[in-house]
Amino acid sequence: MDNTLRQLIAVSGRNLKETVYRDSPAGMLDYRLITTDLFEWETKAPVERQRLLHKNTVAVEDFSMLTRLLPELSGLDYKKRDKMPYFTAGLENVRSAIDERRPIGIKGGPCIFSVHEVLVDVTLRDGSVQMFDYSTGKMYQHEETFSEDMSLGGFVRAHAADITGFAFRSDKPDITAQEYANLLYAFQTANAVHASLLIIPLPDMSYKKYLAAILEYVDGDMRESVMADFEKVLYHICDMFLAHIRTLGEEYPSVRYRVLHDRDREFCSFFYEKRAYYIERHRVLRALTAIPEKLEPIKDYISMQGLPFYLEGITDIIEVDSMDETDSYRKSQKAHKSAFTLSALLFPELLCEDGSTTIYNAPIQKKGYGNYGLVR
């Protein structure tokens, strides 16, 4: 399902000219948002100043609204800057931090692969093979369509005794424009607000945890070799990102950054130790997920925002990420309570060239690898 801001306003029964978006650029009002999520209006402001809220958590704003509060962001120069809706929360805290010269931390970066990029073949004793998409966990029915009835985790639990092997395939030649955009947005924002530290998590460790939980159901002798095969695919992809991060680091030399990834074992151990007080609590854990294999990855996704605080005690942090991370932002904020102030600057997903599918969900031949002209 897709929406535009203009459509959302009309469906809500309001007249555009009577809303806070009356002077917003047409491109921003007509930007296609591929989402099934609900939007609703703020209630704590006069009607003429109310913004739309995404998941009752982040407010929709145009670029001029951002720069009225944070003129420092006027230097951002990526494509579609003025035509893009933004999803924000707590940026008043960033204004205060800049004015009072408090250190600012930023957490930002992409998922390291998307739909259709890493495939899993699960072989059974009878010789039959079922194919899954690793990113979604869904079983393929046909080349690009999924079954909604069976997940990788569910299939392995149901057929564990009959599984004889797993095989992983990836034809990902480079990072996508969406993945590049997530890196660029983070570097440019850090540069604009003179952030003290940018943290870029490359969640290969989280992807491994998902597989490790699934492999608990199969023969123990199989687990080590299966994980080793997966690591070859995973680390090759991660290395692509590390190369692009180094290039962006050279382009923005004033941005001090650190990357979290599985092969930096010391940093990962530090991360798990420092987050435990906030995350390893029954009240937090019970609200995360009912799907066993997703628990450990989600614990990562809601605690990575805390890394500037864990590392250097930075208490003003901005999550610069995709709007799809709204839930992770909210859950992180709730888990960490008042330990630090977490603000959000979230971006819509980019569409591939067909104009109707996000790059993340697009078939592999439409992802436009290396086509960073969409972004810069």
pLDDT score for 143: 73
**Dihedral angle sign, alpha carbons of residues 37, 346, 324, 7:** positive
Answer for the pair 82, 27: CB distance below 8 angstroms, yes or no: yes
pLDDT score for 1: 60
Name all domains of the chain by residue range, CATH numbers in brackets: 2-88 (no CATH), 108-374 (3.40.50)
Give burial (CB, 10 Å; 0-12/13-18/19+) of 134. buried
pLDDT score for 167: 97
pLDDT score for 76: 96
Q: Show pLDDT as tens, one digit a residue, over the chain (376 residues).
A: 678 999 999 999 999 999 999 999 999 999 999 877 779 999 988 888 999 999 999 999 999 999 999 999 999 999 999 999 999 999 999 999 999 999 999 999 999 999 999 999 999 999 999 999 999 999 998 777 898 888 999 999 999 999 999 999 998 999 999 999 999 999 999 999 999 999 999 999 999 999 999 999 998 889 999 999 999 999 999 999 999 999 999 999 999 999 999 999 999 999 999 999 999 988 788 888 888 899 999 999 999 999 999 999 999 999 999 999 999 999 999 999 999 999 999 999 999 887 889 999 999 999 999 989 889 9
CA–CA gap between residue 196 and residue 248 (Å, rounded): 17
Starting from the edge strand earliest in sequence, which strands make up the sheet with 146-151, in order? 146-151, 138-140, 129-133, 118-124, 163-170
The count of other CB atoms within 10 Å of the CB of residue 78 is 14
pLDDT score for 221: 86
Model confidence, pTM: 0.95
Q: At what angle do helices 326-336 and 265-279 cross, to 10 degrees?
A: 70
Backbone φ, ψ for residue 348 (5° rounding): -70, 155
